[in-house]
Structure 1
């Protein structure tokens, strides 16, 4: 594997590529991390030596925090992300859909927190397994004055009931791994000390299968076409994201500690305090 990444560390063995996310201090989904993940996915798309991709974090506390809240104030970053967009998809949807369309089997090993776009990344992967004691998932965008804009409004109803999806999006609370499993957000919640072995065994068992079986299974177990839903999501998200009130709210939340390690440990509490 090429090693010219700043935010990714990649190893490859027995048909399995393991991608460790490392974007200090909290694995923020900024233009660099999103761009490097896209570049990695493109590079391995046609690699016969990679049949399974595991995504994990080098940071035990944070898997992927959320999309960088300062993007709207940095035109150069917005321009960089616009390269991912199309008439049908905004940049954040295009990022998640690149993962969903990957020919290899994609597995998230979740030990820390995944919020916002990070939680959407988890939902876009083929499978996700989480540590019972330490993992957490949240779509907290409502507390930032917006709705999810990277696919959650479409991915979540495909995994759980509409009522539960509305609870996730509008309740904007942090879900523990066991509840996320019960709702269908992830495959399984596992004891932390067994998670690595379980995921590694599953990945290697899949990678040992003939490639045509893996391809046939992914094609046969189809995925929903969210094209119309993505347009509705973009309209709803964009109608909120570019209001002056939203920019002011996010700026106040950043001043109060959002996107710092301490503030992100109880981000929902911080956001609610500033919002109130």
Structure 2
């Protein structure tokens, strides 16, 4: 990994913990370069027996991962390379989440700021998430763009919470505060903003210091989840809506109204709801 050059990530290793800082200005949008670099760094760590825990954090205190790059609507072949690497039956976004979920190390998200759409799916795919009480927020905002989630949210959320709560998140399209996300089971727990770093540092180092084989045994012992049928249903629903005129109009309208700018992303749900369809 020392020879790899990342432009969207910073990677630091210490005492068995790899800390990956996401830095994709202006709002950490989940574009192809960021997805590719996260995949590369995870792959490079797969066989690194000295690294036992991977912590993801953001360089931007307001945005963890905004969502999938809406501007890719004009680049239909942008994900071709990622699609070629995806396991059969998974689209590139689902494969991205599963690649994280299958990582042998323990993966922890330190969530300060907002994670929407594909960013929220990334959070749900990680082993654990701890969030800042005042600054963190989560949203599956795809319905406000005329589509449904296509990167695993329907499956990940359904395994973490009741059907009603999952539908509330997916169809309600609201930004969910950290305390509600904890209560619903979306994340492990919330902490006061000033305590988040210290808690995650202590937990990650405690896990990294466990005897050899304990992490692998614990992850292997967890009940396996075969989500393939659910992923197919999710993909079919997402593609069917993405092909309708409303989705294109809302996505283009959202970009024109300020989505993917710092000001627009602070109140993205309001921006999208203001569009005339």
Q: Would the aligned equivalents of 1:71 and 1:78 in 2 still touch at CA under 8 Å?
A: no
Partner Cα separation in structure 1 for residue 47 and residue 172 of structure 2 = 41
Residue in structure 1 matched with residue 144 of structure 2 by the alignment: 143
Residue in structure 2 matched with residue 91 of structure 1 by the alignment: 92
Partner Cα separation in structure 2 for residue 146 and residue 162 of structure 1 = 19
Task: Give 1:76 shift.
Answer: 4.3
What is the number of residues matched between the two proteins? 276
Residue in structure 2 matched with residue 71 of structure 1 by the alignment: 72
Query: In 2 relative to 1, CA 129–76 (structure 1 residues): closer, same or farther, beyond 3 Å?
Result: same
Alpha-carbon RMSD across the aligned residues, in angstroms, is 1.1
Q: Would the aligned equivalents of 1:62 and 1:112 in 2 still touch at CA under 8 Å?
A: yes
Task: Give 1:74 shift.
Answer: 1.1
SS state at 1:170 partner:
helix
Give deviations 1:94-120, integer Å, cap 9, x for gaps: 000000000000000000000000000
Residue in structure 1 matched with residue 158 of structure 2 by the alignment: 157
Partner Cα separation in structure 2 for residue 168 and residue 229 of structure 1 = 18
- Detail structure 1 runs of 4+ shifted over 4 Å in the superposition: none
Residue in structure 2 matched with residue 27 of structure 1 by the alignment: 28
Partner Cα separation in structure 1 for residue 171 and residue 207 of structure 2 = 37
Q: Would the aligned equivalents of 2:250 and 2:272 in 1 still touch at CA under 8 Å?
A: no
Residue in structure 2 matched with residue 14 of structure 1 by the alignment: 15
Any gaps of 5 or more consecutive residues in structure 1? none
SS state at 2:21 partner:
strand
SS state at 1:224 partner:
coil
Residue in structure 1 matched with residue 263 of structure 2 by the alignment: 262
Q: TM-score, normalised by structure 2?
A: 0.97
Which aligned pairs between 1:102-121 and structure 2 lie closer than 5 A? 102-121=103-122
Residue in structure 1 matched with residue 37 of structure 2 by the alignment: 36
Give deviations 1:52-81, integer Å, cap 9, x for gaps: 000000000000000001212114413233
Give deviations 1:141-174, integer Å, cap 9, x for gaps: 0000100000000000111101000000000100
Q: Would the aligned equivalents of 1:84 and 1:90 in 2 still touch at CA under 8 Å?
A: no
Residue in structure 2 matched with residue 187 of structure 1 by the alignment: 188
Q: Would the aligned equivalents of 1:51 and 1:211 in 2 still touch at CA under 8 Å?
A: no
Q: TM-score, normalised by structure 1?
A: 0.97
SS state at 1:77 partner:
coil
Which aligned pairs between 1:40-59 and structure 2 lie closer than 5 A? 40-59=41-60
Partner Cα separation in structure 1 for residue 107 and residue 140 of structure 2 = 21
Any gaps of 5 or more consecutive residues in structure 2? none
Partner Cα separation in structure 2 for residue 159 and residue 204 of structure 1 = 26
Deviating more after overlay: 32-41 vs 237-246: 237-246
